[in-house]
């Protein structure tokens, strides 16, 4: 391209940005403001605060900024006004007094693509379609009775995981178990059997592609997509950075996985788990033209995305963080193992009845979710109306991040907040499913996670059996303090360096 062409192109881009900004300013000039906007870091023209965020919206970076500007902080991401909530007090006020205004989801490019245009539950705008999806999932998959009915599947998959680790340990004393990978396979297999009727990931070929796509989807969700903040001008930047093609690749990979499962169900090819699963229910609703709910093929795939990604990544990440924290804190590891082993004795397996008598194990799970909530910024929200919060004015269509990671370390509520000390939960009635705002790993308000019951029982069962069946040793030459806690960027935080430990089978004979 000649330099004249480049000049013309640049002038055109600058002109469009100028028109954008003018329009944006005009919209705001017509508003009447009664209260100041929340404080925030200084912005640069055009890009706002984007230069302070390193191409991804990271809970840690937002927390650092909120240390300087307060628990209610304004940002501007290009043309998008944003708000960050970083304390239990402000989260409580926002959700108790203004739940409705904070219940919408923004229409972000990555999330729209992977949710088939917001046809799912997690990224659907607040409204009838979203309510309907929550109802369908609650009635057919996530209510306490259904969750209880999946107990045999959970126990079977966890015991298969224990067997796999035992076999590997017997084959070679020095072999390390990649716990991050093992746990991702466990949680993905579990949700496949629970919701989709069989484990579609037994074969290595789909397993590698699908699990890699789940991870990449989370990274895409957490990345700054320029199209979201600069319209089509930004979409050119996303093409150049490779974000658009990555998103397309993840979409195609997951879409073909869902197509295989749906085809299987239509052709009744699968080995039945002796019951109708979630895909059967959705397909039946799709065939029923007389009902009030119209379920299209894309709607089904959008719902499968929520369930598959929602259940796989969060649970696997939390389990890996639990094992990391325990390995760094041998006193806690020892206490948790003694509790489990003295209750279960030589029975050979911790079952779900045993979990009821393991208060310390439950406290370990809570403490892990406090320090390492796998979705540290929950899922982004968008305000639907104007409201006043702590004396500041919040405008409609503001992108909202609730920093659950910062809230779990809020020193106003948590003594020695950085310490991994499960004892803090033994005599405490702090709820972790959205009622107590100082602990919100599952979110809060109307958008609270509908899969919390399934998530918690999976975490407790898997962790209990890992601690019961094995003693865990560090690789040669490594000390407890060397186990790192660095996290990957993305919507779900994983350990950057996979957790690899040596499993020594515990002999109860
Ligand atoms: C350790 C386990 C889990 C954690 C920590 C977790 C965390 C979360 C969080 C933080 C949110 C956003 C809530 C908000 O915006 O306030 C969420 C939403 C959601 N989760 Fe989970 N989740 C877990 C397990 C599950 C499971 C097992 C499923 C389904 C099988 C699931 C399905 C969903 C769905 C569909 C939403 C969207 C809800 C909506 O927007 O209405 N999650 N989850």
For residue 30, pLDDT beyond 70: no
Q: Are strands 177-178 and 500-505 parallel, antiparallel or unpaired?
A: antiparallel
Distance 218 CA to ligand 1 centre (A): 13
Q: How far is CA 94 from the centre of its chain?
A: 21
pLDDT, tens digit, 9 for 90 and up, residues 319-338:
999 999 999 999 999 999 99
Torsion over CA of 167, 171, 172 and 177, rounded to 10 degrees? -30
Distance 169 CA to ligand 1 centre (A): 34
Confidence of residue 193 (pLDDT cuts 50, 70, 90): very high
- Ligand 1, atom 18: closest residue by C-alpha: 449
Q: Tell me which residue of 212, 211, 235, 240 sits closest to 225, measured CA to CA.
A: 235
**Residue ranges for the binding site?**
449
Q: Tell me which residue of 382, 61, 73 sits closest to 222, measured CA to CA.
A: 61
pLDDT, tens digit, 9 for 90 and up, residues 231-257:
988 999 999 999 999 999 999 999 999
The number of the ligand 1 atom at minimal distance from the alpha carbon of 191 is 30
Confidence of residue 102 (pLDDT cuts 50, 70, 90): very high
What pairs with residue 410 in β-bridges? none
Architecture of the domain delimited by 30-505: Orthogonal Bundle (1.10)
**Which of 310, 367, 439 for mutating ligand 1's site (highest number of atoms within 8 Å of CB)?**
310
Contact 434, 448 (CB under 8 A): yes
pLDDT, tens digit, 9 for 90 and up, residues 339-358:
999 999 999 999 999 999 99
Cα–Cα distance measured from residue 403 to residue 60, given in angstroms and rounded to the nearest whole number: 9
Confidence of residue 291 (pLDDT cuts 50, 70, 90): low
pLDDT, tens digit, 9 for 90 and up, residues 474-484:
999 999 999 98
Q: Tokens representing 260?
A: 């295989």
The number of the ligand 1 atom at minimal distance from the alpha carbon of 141 is 30
Confidence of residue 16 (pLDDT cuts 50, 70, 90): low
Q: How far is CA 232 from the centre of its chain?
A: 28
Percent of the chain with pLDDT over 90: 76
Q: What mean pLDDT, rounded, does the chain reach?
A: 91
pLDDT, tens digit, 9 for 90 and up, residues 105-138:
999 999 999 999 999 999 999 999 999 999 999 9
Choice between 71 and 20, residue whose per-residue pLDDT is larger: 71
448 lines ligand 1 (CB under 6 A): yes
Confidence of residue 174 (pLDDT cuts 50, 70, 90): confident
What pairs with residue 291 in β-bridges? none
pLDDT, tens digit, 9 for 90 and up, residues 132-167:
999 999 999 999 999 999 999 999 999 999 999 999
pLDDT at 504 (0 to 100): 95
pLDDT, tens digit, 9 for 90 and up, residues 372-423:
999 999 999 999 999 999 999 999 999 999 999 999 999 999 999 999 999 9
**Residue ranges for the binding site for heme?**
449
Distance 238 CA to ligand 1 centre (A): 28
- The arithmetic mean of pLDDT across residues 46-59, rounded, is 88
- Ligand 1, atom 20: closest residue by C-alpha: 449
106 lines ligand 1 (CB under 6 A): no
Distance 457 CA to ligand 1 centre (A): 14
422 lines ligand 1 (CB under 6 A): no
Contact 305, 115 (CB under 8 A): yes
Domain spans of the chain, in order of start: 30-505
**Which of 278, 305, 442, 446 for mutating ligand 1's site (highest number of atoms within 8 Å of CB)?**
442
**How many CA atoms lie less than 13 Å away from 228 in the CB half-sphere?**
29
pLDDT at 299 (0 to 100): 96
Cα–Cα distance measured from residue 80 to residue 383, given in angstroms and rounded to the nearest whole number: 12
pLDDT at 197 (0 to 100): 93
- Ligand 1, atom 21: closest residue by C-alpha: 449
Choice between 484 and 463, residue whose per-residue pLDDT is larger: 463
Contact 383, 395 (CB under 8 A): yes
Q: Are strands 399-402 and 80-85 parallel, antiparallel or unpaired?
A: parallel
Cα–Cα distance measured from residue 279 to residue 273, given in angstroms and rounded to the nearest whole number: 13
Q: Tell me which residue of 371, 361, 329, 370 sits closest to 461, measured CA to CA.
A: 361
450 lines ligand 1 (CB under 6 A): yes
**Which of 98, 102, 108, 314 for mutating ligand 1's site (highest number of atoms within 8 Å of CB)?**
314
Confidence of residue 12 (pLDDT cuts 50, 70, 90): low
Q: Tokens representing 89?
A: 């007090």
The number of the ligand 1 atom at minimal distance from the alpha carbon of 306 is 35
Between the alpha carbon of residue 481 and those of residues 176, 325, 484, the distances in Å are: 18, 11, 8
């Amino acid at each position: 391209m000649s330099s004249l062409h480049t000049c013309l192109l640049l002038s055109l881009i600058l002109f469009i940005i100028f028109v954008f900004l003018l329009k944006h300013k005009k919209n705001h000039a017509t508003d009447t403001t009664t209260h100041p906007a929340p404080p925030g870091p200084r912005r640069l023209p055009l890009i706002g605060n984007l230069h302070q965020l390193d191409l991804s919206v990271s809970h840690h970076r937002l927390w650092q900024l909120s240390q300087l500007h307060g628990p209610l902080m304004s940002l501007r991401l290009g043309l998008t006004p944003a708000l960050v909530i970083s304390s239990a007090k402000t989260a409580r006020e926002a959700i108790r007094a203004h739940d409705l205004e904070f219940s919408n989801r923004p229409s972000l490019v990555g999330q729209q693509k992977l949710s088939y245009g917001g046809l799912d539950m997690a990224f659907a705008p607040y409204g009838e379609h979203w309510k309907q999806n929550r109802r369908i999932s609650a009635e057919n998959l996530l209510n306490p009775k259904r969750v209880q009915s999946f107990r045999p599947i959970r126990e079977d998959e966890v015991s298969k995981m224990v067997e796999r680790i035992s076999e590997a340990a017997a084959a070679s004393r020095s072999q390390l178990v990649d716990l991050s990978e093992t746990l991702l396979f466990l949680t993905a297999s579990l949700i496949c059997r629970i919701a989709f009727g069989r484990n579609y990931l037994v074969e290595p070929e789909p397993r590698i592609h699908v699990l890699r796509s789940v991870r990449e989807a989370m990274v895409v969700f957490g990345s700054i997509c320029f199209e979201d903040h600069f319209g089509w001008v930004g979409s050119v930047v996303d093409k150049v950075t490779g974000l658009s093609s990555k998103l397309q690749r993840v979409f195609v990979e997951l879409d073909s996985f869902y197509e295989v499962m749906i085809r299987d169900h239509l052709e009744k090819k699968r080995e039945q788990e002796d019951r109708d699963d979630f895909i059967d229910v959705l397909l039946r609703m799709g065939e029923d033209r007389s009902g009030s709910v119209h379920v299209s093929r894309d709607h089904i795939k959008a719902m499968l995305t929520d369930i598959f990604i929602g259940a796989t990544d969060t649970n696997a990440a939390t389990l890996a963080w639990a094992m990391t924290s325990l390995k760094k804190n041998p006193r806690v590891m020892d206490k948790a193992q003694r509790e489990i082993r003295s209750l279960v004795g030589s029975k050979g397996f911790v079952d779900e009845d045993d979990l009821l008598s393991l208060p310390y194990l439950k406290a370990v799970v809570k403490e892990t979710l406090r320090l390492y909530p796998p979705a540290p910024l929950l899922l982004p929200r968008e305000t639907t109306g104007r409201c006043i919060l702590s004396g500041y004015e919040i405008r409609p269509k503001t992108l909202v991040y609730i920093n659950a990671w910062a809230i779990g370390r809020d020193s106003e509520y948590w003594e020695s907040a950085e310490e991994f000390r499960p004892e803090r939960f033994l005599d405490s009635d702090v709820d972790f499913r959205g009622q107590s705002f100082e602990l919100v790993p599952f979110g809060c308000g109307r958008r609270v996670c509908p899969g919390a019951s399934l998530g918690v029982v999976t975490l407790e069962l898997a962790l209990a059996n890992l601690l019961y069946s094995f003693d865990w040793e560090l690789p040669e030459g490594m000390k407890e303090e060397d186990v790192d806690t660095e996290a990957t960027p993305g919507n779900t935080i994983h350990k950057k360096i996979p957790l690899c430990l040596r499993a020594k089978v515990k002999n109860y004979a």
